[in-house]
Amino acid sequence: MDAIDVLKKLFEQKFRTPVERLQPLKGQLGGSGRNIIRLSSGKASAIGILYNVREENAAFVEFSRHFRQHGLPVPEIYGEDLSRGAYLEEDLGDTTLFEFLSSNRTGENIAPQAVEAYRQVVGVLPRFQVEAGRDLNYDVCYPRDSFDRQSISWDLNYFKYYFLRLAGIAFNEQALEDDFDRLTNFLLTADRDYFMYRDFQSRNIMLVNGQPFFLDYQGGRRGALQYDIASLLYDAKADLPPEMRRELLDLYIEKLSGFIKLDRKTFLHHYYSYVYVRILQALGAYGFRGFYERKAHFLQSVPYALKNLRWLSHNVKLPIALPTLMEAFNSMLASEKLQALASEADTLTVRVFSFSFHRGLPKDETGNGGGFVFDGRSLPNPGREDRFKALTGRDAPVIDYLNQQQSVHQFLASVMSLVDASVSEYQRRGFKSLMVSFGCTGGQHRSVFLAEQLAARLRGRNGIEVVLHHRELESAAQ
């Protein structure tokens, strides 16, 4: 029995009906390495997870059942076969908190409904940390049962080797290690006897009928309260305005005071050090996925993390001295390599493809999994005429022929209207990548012409980089 068959069996055991549709999903846990699949039949739907790290799977399953016993909004576990790296959970839809925020903001102006969603999320966090954390089985935590010296060291070295090194930032290694020791010792003086969610950020929170549900807590362990609220408020691409962060932090402290006796000054004494260590962990992840694994879309978050570091450097003074680390931050902020990423972050890249349907759809290399595919096979085909067979949609005779066809103009008008609207909305919401593909029979005439026409139109717009690929022509030229 292969892995997909295991999920199908779990689905049939739960819903007493065979699976009719399988839909691979991207994005919800894009950096984790999990395979996420939606299984459905009629009105029944579930999310299947395939992942070969048994300890993480066991932690997620046990934590989920524990949190549900405490009435927390997490997915129900429908079934599992951990020996085969599979489990089935409740389908919470497709709307993450990040997507909801993106669709309800213009720059730093965030609509009230998005602010309210964040307020609801902040209100639930203390229940995970304190209420459900009291009787949690920490024996199943993986890879550590607490955010201790070893855990912190892993995160700091992740940042050092996968971000600083690969970004070309110079530093004195021993002096940086001395700063890391001082930072670690200070972090460990905070009260750490609570559940630390570990990755409490906007892509791990789903909105279902306006209510938040929570995912991706399998890396949870004992730790300090400050870490999770720092993760949410300094979530890089969410790019929350400073005033909104302050208001949400105040709300969190107010809600937390309902669960424990809390001294605000003591809490804030450690808070910004946890903000820093969370940003360093995230930068390490961006560097590993982006610089090392060459998954460029992870680097799109770097400019937002640098923006957070710049704000912190101007507005926060830590209780401890970290001169070498701060010098590294200044070098990062001045780095031409990283500044280029910042410039790219302000640009929407539209990838335009022509292709032949005989060879399948072009592959989306960005990890976004979105865009348009237009079928040009309904249009008059120049390839059927001998005079055009050796030519392509970039050659003047073919261009003239297609320009004389009324159906081609109607087709292009509809395409331009759809793509223009999406481009405008993507730019407004700060999205960075859109893919538009045109297919025809051979990928030589109609699809090439259509792709060229769209690319020419888009190249005149501000803030857009157009990347044009004629897949079949490029393949033939190799």
| pLDDT beneath 70, residues of the chain | 1, 26-32, 342-346, 366-370, 460, 462, 477-478
Instruction: Give the model's pLDDT for residue 85.
Output: 96
Q: Report the candidate in 233, 207, 361, 365 with the shortest Cα–Cα distance to residue 298.
A: 365
- The torsion defined by the Cα of 431, 435, 436 and 438, in degrees rounded to 10, comes to 180
pLDDT of residue 370: 67
Q: What is the DSSP letter of 260?
A: S
The answer to whether 341 and 173 have CB atoms below 8 angstroms apart is no
Encoded tokens for 419: 């793509």
Question: Quick one: pLDDT at residue 28?
Answer: 39
pLDDT the model gives residue 106: 76
- Taking alpha carbons only, the member of 281, 325, 278 closest to residue 163 is 281
Q: Which helix (H) or strand (E) holds 37?
A: strand 35-41
Contact of 349 with 430, CB cutoff 8 Å = no
Distance of alpha carbon 312 from alpha carbon 300, whole angstroms: 20
pLDDT at 27: 42
CA dist., res. 195 & res. 385, Å (int): 70
Q: What is the Cβ-side half-sphere exposure of residue 306, based on CA atoms within 13 angstroms?
A: 26
Q: What is the pLDDT of residue 153?
A: 98
Residue 31: the pLDDT is: 56
Under DSSP, the state recorded for 386 is G
d(CA 189, CA 191): 7
Domains and CATH numbers, the chain: 3-90 (3.30.200.20), 97-344 (3.90.1200.10), 347-477 (no CATH)
Token pair belonging to 274: 């946890």
CB 249 within 8 A of CB 225: no
